Amino acid sequence: MEHRGVTLWFTGLSGAGKTTISAVVAQKLRDAGCKLEVLDGDVVRTNLTKGLGFSKEDRDTNVRRIGFVANLLTRNGVIVIVSAISPYRAIRDELKEQIGDFVEVFVNAPVEECERRDVKGLYKKARSGEIKNFTGISDPYEPPLTPEIECRTDLEELDESVEKVMSYIKEKGYIQ
């Protein structure tokens, strides 16, 4: 399939559905023959940004590094799917400006729903104080003000969220 480089940046709370939606989008794009890379926040933290903590400064560094790699790939015609909490609006806006071909996908679910889905028990640990600086509990999440796409995973089915993303990138000419 013919396509242009673009970064699809999935942001939202832990448990909102970023990885789930982005994995299906990635598979659809792979099946269509697109050049694609996936930068998942958890995977990046164990490789590219190992050693960083969860202070605001470390989170900003983590997101900027992901953005740097995404920018390199995007300008070389690759569709990049980033799935990372990326809690701070200013850094996301900075990356949007740098990358240009940047689609912000706000994966939105209330914190209560994210807690209900939490198979790792992270929210429970955060609420008990065992995990410090946990986004949505003891550290802020700044939702996008004008995301290109918003997926309300508490109100819509997975296929609806995936279709929003696929329709948008077709409409904008990123894929044929």
Specify the CATH class of 6-171 in words: alpha beta
Query: 């794009």: which residue's tokens?
Result: 29
Cβ–Cβ under 8 Å, residues 175 and 29: yes
Q: What percent of the chain has pLDDT over 90?
A: 82
Tell me the percentage of the chain whose pLDDT exceeds 70: 99
Cα gap 91→104, rounded to integer Å = 12
Q: What is the pLDDT of residues 59-78, one digit of tens each?
A: 899 999 999 999 999 999 99
- Residues 116 and 46: their CA atoms lie apart, in Å, by 26
Q: In this structure, how many other beta carbons lie within 10 angstroms of the beta carbon of residue 112?
A: 10
- Which helix (H) or strand (E) segment holds residue 24: the answer is helix 18-31
Residue-wise pLDDT tens digits, 107-165: 999 999 999 999 889 999 999 999 888 999 999 999 999 999 999 999 999 999 999 99
Closest CA to 80 of 157, 173, 10: 10
What local confidence, expressed as pLDDT, does residue 119 receive? 86
Catalytic, 86? Answer yes
- Helix, strand, coil proportions of the chain in percent (round to 5)? 45, 20, 40
pLDDT at 2: 82
Domain boundaries, the chain: 6-171
pLDDT higher than 80, residue 166: yes
**Would you place residue 49 in the very low, low, confident or very high pLDDT band (cuts 50, 70, 90)?**
confident
Which residue carries 């296929």 as its tokens?
Answer: 159
Radius of gyration of the chain (CA): 16
Evaluate if residue 50 carries a pLDDT over 90.
no
Catalytic-role residue among 86, 128, 138, 161: 86
96/62 Cα distance (integer angstroms): 16
The set of residues, in sequence order, having a beta carbon less than 8 Å from that of 103 and lying 6+ positions away, is 6, 7, 8, 9, 148, 149, 165, 168, 169, 172, 174
Q: Can you give the pLDDT at residue 48?
A: 74
Residue 103 pLDDT? 98
